[in-house]
Amino acid sequence: MATTTPAGVGGGHAKHGGQDGGAPMTHRQIMEALSGLLLGMFVAILSSTIVSNALPEIISDLHGSQSSYTWVVTASLLAMTASTPLWGKLSDLFSKKLLVQIALIVYVAGSVVAGLSQNTGTLIACRAIQGIGVGGLSALAQIIMAAMISPRERGRYSGYLGATFAVATVGGPLLGGVITDTDWLGWRWCFYVGVPFAVIALIVLQKTLKLPVVKRDVKVDWLGAFFISASVTLLLVWVTLAGKNYDWISWQTYAMVGGSIVLGALFVLVESKASEPIIPLRLFRNKTITLSSAASLFVGVAMFSGTVFFSQYFQLARGKSPTMSGVMTIPMIAGLFLSSTISGQIITKTGRWKAWLVSGGVLLTAGLGLLGTMRYDTPYWHLAVYMALVGLGMGMMMQNLVLCTQNQVAPKDLGAASSVVTFFRSLGGAVGVSALGAVLGHRVTDYVKDGIAALGPQAAAAAAKSGGSGGGIPKLDAMPAPLRTVVESAYGHGVGDVFLYAAPCALLAFVLTLFIKEVALQGRPGAAAAAAGEKEAVKQGG
């Protein structure tokens, strides 16, 4: 039983979107409706990126290790990953407007407490709460756009979403760096600064976002949500600890990987029997959704590895300040900004998207492969070119993988299908950051040991005294010159290795996009199609 609630009940006036199947929204109406949504999206991305350049300092102040560093990022990604399908399913059942406001409130709560953290454990827990909110904002932004705007027109507005993503991505590290470098503020303000934006977004959303609410009397699949979260968490814990706390081939590995597979199998079993599954398995009968989801998984690895490990490279391999670390990643963000906006505009005019998807895969693979050659003394202009290639590739792939999926599903599955693609991108990011963070920790330790051995016994004694070969994040300023060079070289080489491992993932994403069939973009927004479907169902029922 499904009923369309008048827009006033958490939705607004139907005339504002032509969501009743009438006249489509004007550009001005769409931009008004999107203003709060884009601001909310800005907050979500800002929270993910603002800590990137502050993290070396944060972890050092809280006496954390490389694992702590990785988990501050991974906890947010994991919570975002696990909650994304749930938010998507809820959006098919309840008011999208109310859900996006709840997501903002969850984000604000996590941010405020994160700023008060006294140890890495508390910080990691708060980042998980932030991740739940960010998961809602990321999934709902795509879903609400699909409800208001036809796929043919959506390329243009996806460009605005891409531009917002780019501004928040470049603004976040810069702002985080400035805040961290400012004595009277300090890194804790990295968590507080997004709160005013979130409050403004809440107010703007209340006034501008107007969508009809389709309510269905169904239960949310909480059991499915539990099993998918538990499966992913166990896998990430294994990746983080393997090779350090126990061997890669050990009983702990068999137990954790086996447990993750069993939990995943239970998730599939629960989803196959649930009346309203979080991830409807029938969606994967559609070849485009299956291929887009798999490609998004590998794009996630590449995307998040780029944003997370650059801050460590510039600060620990090149001795730059948090602020300069942000400035030096601008080529990547510029590439992302240009490709997402330009490709969006051209896709709207032509209705063709596959060439952009395939080209993005080529550029992303090439950029990551070239970054794999980086060392602590690589000329910056080389890095700038490589980063620009990565940014151009990401901008062409991220939005378009969601777009081609949304174009091929029934209106009632729009939320679930959109969040499935976002889910796999976040999953790739979470697994990638966790695995590559573990790789970085091991490689840096090995390179530091080799470098110290090459310097001789005196350097080894100095390293033991300054903690240079320990598991924590080093303070370069406190090190003698020869040892500092060893540590910088180790981080430069280690981060280069990380990108070298990420490149094959981008190559796999490229290969998968080759098999996605291009289907002409539809000219009808999701909400209009849903409303038409409801009317048709009523006619047939009558």
Last residue of a domain, one of 213, 247, 273: 273
C-beta of residue 471 within 8 angstroms of C-beta of residue 441: yes
Q: Are residues 468 and 332 in the same domain?
A: yes
Please say which residue of 273, 307, 335 terminates a domain.
273
Q: Do 293 and 238 fall into the same domain?
A: no
Q: Is the pLDDT of residue 263 over 90?
A: yes
Report the mean per-residue pLDDT for the chain. 78
Same-domain check for residues 117 and 147 = yes
Give yes or no: residues 307 and 323 share one domain: yes
Inform me whether the pLDDT recorded for 496 exceeds 60: yes
Mean local confidence (pLDDT), 298-314:
80
Indicate whether 523 pLDDT > 80.
no
Indicate if 85 and 148 belong to the same structural domain. yes
Residue 365 pLDDT greater than 80, yes or no: yes
pLDDT tens-place string over residues 226-249: 888 888 888 877 876 776 677 778
The CATH number of whichever domain residue 120 belongs to comes to 1.20.1250.20
Is 120:497 a contact under the CB 8 Å cutoff?
Answer: no
State percent of the chain over pLDDT 70.
82
How confident is the model over 122-139, as pLDDT tens digits? 899 998 898 898 888 877
Average pLDDT over residues 400-427: 78
CA proximity to 305, closest of 172, 428, 192 = 428
Domain that residue 263 falls in: 222-273
pLDDT band at 1 (very low <50, low <70, confident <90, very high): very low
Residue 314: pLDDT above 80? yes
Last residue of a domain, one of 273, 302, 334: 273
Alpha helices in 351-407 (DSSP H): 354-371, 380-406
Burial (Cβ within 10 Å: 0-12, 13-18, ≥19) of residue 249: exposed
**466 and 526 share one domain:** yes
374 and 228 inside one domain: no
Judgement on whether residues 98 and 202 belong to the same structural domain of the protein: yes
Is the predicted pLDDT of residue 505 greater than 60, yes or no?
yes
Of 480, 141, 162, 491, nearest to 310 by C-alpha is 491
The total of structural domains in the chain comes to 2
pLDDT, position 492: 92
Mean pLDDT of 406-418: 75
Distance (Å, whole) CA 362 – CA 69? 31
**How far does CA 70 lie from the centroid of its chain?**
15
* pLDDT band, very low/low/confident/very high, at 392 (cuts 50, 70, 90): very high
Burial of 466 (0-12, 13-18, 19+ CB in 10 A): middle
10 DSSP 8-state letter: T
Same domain assignment for residues 407 and 504? yes
Residues 24 and 99 in one domain: yes
pLDDT of 188-241, one tens digit each? 888 888 888 888 888 888 887 777 655 555 567 788 878 888 888 888 778 767
Pick from 336, 335, 299, 312: nearest CA to 496: 312
Within this chain, do residues 359 and 441 fall inside the same structural domain, yes or no? yes
**Is residue 23 over pLDDT 80?**
no
Do 290 and 256 lie in one domain? The reply is no
